[in-house]
Amino acid sequence: MQKAKDSFYMALRARLATVNARRTISLRGAERPGILVEEAEAPFSPLPSDVFVLRWLGMGAEIDLATTMVAEECEIVYQTSGSQSYGGLDRGRALSAMDAELLSILAPYVTAQVDYSTATPTTLLTRVFWDEPVFGAVAVQRDRLSRAAKVMVYSYEE
């Protein structure tokens, strides 16, 4: 499932760079699109604002097929305090903008499966695909608004 998780992340990352090139994060001295995988980063508390954080949850497999199909649930968490220029009073609009960006980068619900475990990424024969997102309620934490969306990601094992 690691190849599918990597492919999903890299597809969303590339799409975010196209949809909103200003949504970035600086990590370990490098500026990159504002999306990250929680399990692939050093622990942080609280979650960074104005970026998408992918969190992998439960996994399942269908082995009664010609090729094993695996699925894992991905929770995409994001939060914002709005902008300083508006004193945070635009935090609802900022969260709505992130909702729209997430919908935009998730579509279409498919990408090529790529093996990123080598120095030269290799495109595989299968695809990674996912369901429409299920958005949770807005949570209020002092001056921050946050939301989580869940997506089931599927792939065939190669």
Query: What are 28's two structure tokens?
Result: 């370990």
Print burial letters for 17-47: b (CB count within 10 Å at least 16), e (below 16).
Answer: bebbeebbbeeeeeeebbbbbeeeeeeeeee
Instruction: List, in order, residues 6 or more apart from 153 with CB less than 8 Å away.
Output: 4, 5, 8, 71, 72, 73, 74, 128, 129, 130
Residue 78 has pLDDT above 70, yes or no: yes
Residue 158 has pLDDT above 90, yes or no: no
Q: Is residue 135 exposed (0-12), middle (13-18) or buried (19+ Cβ within 10 Å)? A: middle
Q: Are 128 and 154 in contact (CB under 8 A)?
A: yes
Q: Which residue has the tokens 């619900």?
A: 109
pLDDT of residue 10: 96
Residue 143 has pLDDT above 90, yes or no: no
pTM for this predicted structure: 0.91
pLDDT of residue 21: 95
The per-residue pLDDT for range 16-68, each reduced to its tens digit, is 999 999 999 988 888 999 999 988 877 777 788 899 999 999 878 787 777 77
pLDDT of residue 67: 77
* pLDDT band at 75; cut points 50, 70, 90: very high
pLDDT of residue 111: 96
The per-residue pLDDT for range 98-118, each reduced to its tens digit, is 999 999 999 999 999 999 998
